[in-house]
């Protein structure tokens, strides 16, 4: 198994969004955070030999990180065609040969029906935009339908919500840790060039695992 640091170096070449959407909360997952999430998933035997689905993959950061750790296949799903085009280019930059399928679809109305052991990795919208509160709820609902286990990144202060949602949907939070989300300025309303957001990552085992 490659080290977390080596994985972060490999993911550092992943390009972000050319035209990020405010409404979709398209913020690229930092390579250090993606490497940490994927490394923890690998340590828990949740990647090798499995199907890994990245819901709301954007330009492919988490999907490509998982692809470097020996999955049976990876599916990167996103509603944005342009982002998926960048994800395909990023695959070439990263150099992984693992089977990856890029699917244009709404993660909250996921068309996938999987029977094999499946791990979901995702950085869902935090619901920071007015009218989109709890946008991550729909992503968790999809994970509950698809996955045996999921890893998801949420805004700080989400523990009560995530644990309650998991319990109500046959799941259990088994791991939780805090992480820093380094956010570069990319929209006009951002007042700082860089900002560090406090986030939380949750591993949830869903019913049947």
Q: Which helix (H) or strand (E) holds 120?
A: strand 118-122
Between 28-32, 55-59, 96-100, 180-184, the lowest mean confidence (pLDDT) is in 180-184
Sequence spans of domains, the chain: 4-205
pLDDT of residue 130: 47
Q: Per residue in 49-108, pLDDT tens?
A: 999 999 999 999 999 999 999 999 999 999 999 999 999 999 999 999 999 999 999 999
pLDDT of residue 185: 56
Strand order from edge to edge, sheet including 149-155: 100-104, 73-78, 51-55, 118-122, 149-155, 194-205, 172-184
Classify residue 179 as exposed, middle or buried by CB count within 10 Å of its CB (0-12, 13-18, 19+).
Answer: middle
Residue that has been written with the tokens 């920071």 in this structure:
128
- Which of left, alpha, beta for 56 (phi over 0: left; psi -120 to 50: alpha)? left
The number of angstroms, rounded, from the C-alpha of 68 to the middle of its chain's C-alpha atoms is 15
Task: Give the CA angle between residues 170, 175, 181 to the nearest 5°.
Answer: 115
**Residues recorded for the chain:** 209
The number of angstroms, rounded, from the C-alpha of 139 to the middle of its chain's C-alpha atoms is 10
CATH class of domain segment(s) 4-205:
alpha beta
Higher pLDDT pick, 114 / 209: 114
Residue that has been written with the tokens 């923890």 in this structure:
40
In whole angstroms, give the CA distance from residue 186 to residue 194: 9
In whole angstroms, give the CA distance from residue 95 to residue 108: 30
Quote the radius of gyration of the chain (alpha carbons, Å): 16
Q: Per residue in 104-135, pLDDT tens?
A: 999 999 999 999 999 999 999 876 554 455 67
């Amino acid at each position: 198994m490659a080290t977390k640091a080596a994985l972060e170096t490999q993911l550092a070449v992943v390009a972000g969004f050319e035209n990020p959407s405010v409404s979709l909360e398209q913020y690229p997952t930092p390579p250090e955070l993606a490497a940490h999430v994927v490394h923890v998933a690998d340590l828990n035997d949740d990647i090798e030999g499995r199907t890994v689905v990245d819901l709301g993959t954007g330009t492919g950061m988490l999907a490509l990180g998982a692809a470097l750790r020996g999955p049976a296949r990876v599916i990167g799903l996103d509603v944005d065609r342009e982002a998926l085009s960048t994800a395909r280019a990023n695959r070439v930059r990263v150099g992984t040969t693992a089977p990856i399928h890029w699917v244009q679809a709404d993660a909250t109305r996921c068309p996938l029906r999987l029977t094999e052991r499946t791990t979901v990795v995702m950085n869902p919208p935090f619901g920071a935009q007015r009218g989109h509160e709890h946008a991550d709820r729909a992503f968790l609902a999809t994970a509950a339908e698809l996955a045996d286990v999921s890893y998801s990144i949420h805004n700080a202060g989400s523990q009560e919500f995530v644990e309650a949602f998991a319990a109500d949907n046959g799941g259990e939070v088994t791991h939780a840790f805090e992480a820093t989300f380094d956010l570069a300025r990319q929209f006009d309303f951002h007042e700082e060039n860089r900002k560090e957001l406090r986030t939380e990552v949750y591993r949830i085992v869903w019913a049947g695992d």
